[in-house]
Amino acid sequence: MTENTDLKEYWENKPRLLPNVSIDCVIFGFHDNQLKILLLKYKNTEYYALPGGFINLEEDLSDAALRVLEERTGLRDIYLEQFHVFGKTDRRYDETHRQIMAGNGITMKPNHFLMNRFISIGYYALIDLSKAAPKPDGLSDTCDWYDLYKIPSLIFDHNEILQKALETLRLALDEKLVGFNLLPETFTINEIQKLYETVLNEKLVRSNFQRKILSLGILERIEKKMTGAANKAPYLYKFIGE
Amino acid sequence: MTENTDLKEYWENKPRLLPNVSIDCVIFGFHDNQLKILLLKYKNTEYYALPGGFINLEEDLSDAALRVLEERTGLRDIYLEQFHVFGKTDRRYDETHRQIMAGNGITMKPNHFLMNRFISIGYYALIDLSKAAPKPDGLSDTCDWYDLYKIPSLIFDHNEILQKALETLRLALDEKLVGFNLLPETFTINEIQKLYETVLNEKLVRSNFQRKILSLGILERIEKKMTGAANKAPYLYKFIGE
């Protein structure tokens, strides 16, 4: 049985899923002072989408989010964080779902569950994209990083979901910084400032930023970075308790 | 037809609801430097619960949250904010639901939708409790404010939901302060500090607090409060743009 026969069988029948509820994952990738976003392109369509999926009837929501992300993109061990539920009644995407399935040679029967209204639970993560190797799933041609400010138009309300995730990321950066695990074991204030500037998409004043980041009480100063000019060398920091 | 016949008819049949999804509302009340929480007590039981309910098949999630809160407690025009989805597979409360319904003379048929697994979407608010007059719905005996640190044991996982809402409130206070509409039109730094101390349940150092709250850029200083001793009178503030 080929992978495609599996897919056909799965989607043409009614899978044992929590009806009317989906999950969408907004994966931000940071590297070299650039912020990118992970998108799938569905086979034989021009449809770009966030990686998303459904919850099995007997599966914890948080497990479902990790499974969906892995099934759609191959990414594992990601620190996913819930951020918002999208629940408007017009989240009903019969025709787009039909075309996505058609692009994979799959026919949706009348009353297929994908014709229902869905509320979607949004999860986001910010990862070091140089350490991630995403790959497309069976329904998709590509799974790639896109410059956040040059993304294609997305299906459904995925542009809105992405926007809300970005707002959440910007507000939560102080609090999630340690968990995201984006910096090397030791780092300079300048390195952490670059991360903030990239996520916030604005230049920050160094003295203000230094005061603010130190006031969070999450950094421990260790020693000066070794360079030729000792008196100009910046201090190195690490996260307290790491 | 009495109100109770309506209730019986509603709950003994299968209402047109989004299956497997519920809403729970955590309403914090602030007044006189006290933080309280709004709880219902179900009729003829010792069951205390957060006000919660379900989403109609053709209803936006945010409208459902406001409707559920109003139906269960009578409270209207509340600034409700989503904070978390509770999605463990063990959120299945057949027996407790059966007893709550029995307390109202309502019999759950086999396969009643309340026997399903539910994921629950949590909403919270912080309101001035002196301006709210909650009243119990048809299923409940009482709808009252309880001291946050002396609440009874709650049904389901409602203690855990309350705890998560409290953590969210404490983290989000800076950002939500204006929207919560808890302070008079003009106020002193001391009044706003009391609000923070009550929510955070800790004493704050006045000079640090003043520096921090002014740095948020949401306050506008207007004039000194009129008192007998002019040089000791505190400044009054208002929110910028209000």
Q: Answer yes or no: do A89 and B119 touch at CB < 8 A.
A: no
pLDDT value at B46 more than 90: yes
Answer for the pair B182, B232: CB distance below 8 angstroms, yes or no: no
Q: What is the pLDDT of residues B49-96, one digit of tens each?
A: 999 999 999 999 999 999 999 999 999 999 999 999 999 999 999 999
CB-based contacts of A8, cutoff 8 Å, min separation 6: A104, A105, A106
Q: Answer yes or no: do B21 and A119 touch at CB < 8 A.
A: yes
Chain B environment of A171 (Cβ under 8 Å): 175
Q: Answer yes or no: do A87 and B119 touch at CB < 8 A.
A: no
Q: What is the mean pLDDT of chain A?
A: 92
Chain B environment of A121 (Cβ under 8 Å): 85, 87
A59, A121, A175: residue with CB nearest B89:
A59
What ipTM was estimated for this complex?
Answer: 0.91
Q: Is B235 helix (H, G, I), strand (E, B) or coil?
A: strand
**DSSP strand pairing (A81-86 vs A119-128):** antiparallel
Low-confidence spans in chain A with pLDDT less than 50: 1-2
Following DSSP, what letter does each residue of A195-239 receive, concatenated?
Answer: HHHHHHTS---HHHHHHHHHHTT-EEEEEEPP-SSGGGPPEEEEE
- Residue B12: pLDDT band (50, 70, 90) is confident
Looking at domain A3-173, does it have CATH number 3.90.1300.10? Answer: no
CATH architecture under which domain B3-175 falls? Alpha-Beta Complex (3.90)
Q: Which residue of A has its CA nearest to B87?
A: A61
Kindly list the distances between the CA atom of residue B128 and the CA atoms of A52, A188, B181, in Å, as whole numbers in the listed order. Answer: 40, 45, 8
Task: Give which of B14, B16, B17, B18 to mutate to test A binding, by max A Cβ within 10 Å.
Answer: B18
CB-based contacts of B14, cutoff 8 Å, min separation 6: B112, B113
**pLDDT value at position A48?**
98
CB-based burial label for B150 (10 Å; 0-12, 13-18, 19+): exposed
E-state strands within chain B: 17-31, 34-42, 48-49, 52-56, 81-86, 119-128, 140-147, 219-224, 235-239
Q: What is the pLDDT of residues A35-64, one digit of tens each?
A: 999 999 999 999 999 999 999 999 999 999
Q: Is A84 helix (H, G, I), strand (E, B) or coil?
A: strand
Q: What is the pLDDT of residues B99-147, one digit of tens each?
A: 999 999 999 888 888 999 999 999 999 999 999 999 999 999 999 999 9
Q: Do you know the residue count of chain B? A: 242
Answer for the pair A185, A237: CB distance below 8 angstroms, yes or no: no
Chain B environment of A119 (Cβ under 8 Å): 18, 21, 55, 61
Answer for the pair A221, A206: CB distance below 8 angstroms, yes or no: no
Among A95, A101, A93, which residue's Cα sits nearest to residue A157? A93
* Residue B241 token pair: 């743009």
Residue ranges of the domains in chain A? Answer: 3-173, 189-239
Task: Give which of A59, A80, A119, A167 to mutate to test B binding, by max B Cβ within 10 Å.
Answer: A119
